[in-house]
């Protein structure tokens, strides 16, 4: 999933953009590969975009800044057994950038 930089906007602005473009929420969700029901819940304020697919939807809609990645992509310095600032060994094949 491509994460283009989208300015943070309000729910009202998102709804207006759907109207302006003539795109239904269901069609948008289907094309993005996310749940239409969850998208409607976010736009109605019944669900917060804190984590998982709701986070992804909020970022894609431009409702919040954020990074879209899977939990498997997320690497923490303490989980690697070294600080993020510590130099890495040459044979260390772990990723150098977090998602």
For residues 7 and 29, the answer to whether their CB atoms sit within 8 Å is no
The count of other CB atoms within 10 Å of the CB of residue 29 is 19
pLDDT digits (tens, 9 = 90+) for 57-90: 999 998 887 778 777 777 776 666 555 455 555 5
What are the tens digits of pLDDT across the range 25-66?
999 999 999 999 999 999 999 988 888 889 999 999 988 877
Burial grade of 56 (CB within 10 A; 0-12, 13-18, 19 or more): buried
What 3-state class would DSSP assign to 71? Answer: helix
């Amino acid at each position: 999933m491509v994460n283009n930089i989208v300015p943070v906007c309000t729910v009202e602005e998102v709804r207006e953009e759907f109207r302006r473009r003539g795109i239904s929420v269901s069609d948008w969700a289907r094309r993005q590969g996310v749940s239409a029901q969850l998208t409607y819940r976010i736009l109605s304020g019944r669900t917060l975009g804190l984590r998982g697919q709701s986070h992804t939807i909020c970022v894609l809609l431009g409702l919040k800044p954020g990074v879209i990645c899977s939990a498997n992509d997320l690497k923490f310095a303490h989980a690697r057994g070294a600080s993020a600032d510590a130099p890495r060994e040459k044979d260390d094949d772990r990723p150098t950038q977090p998602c």
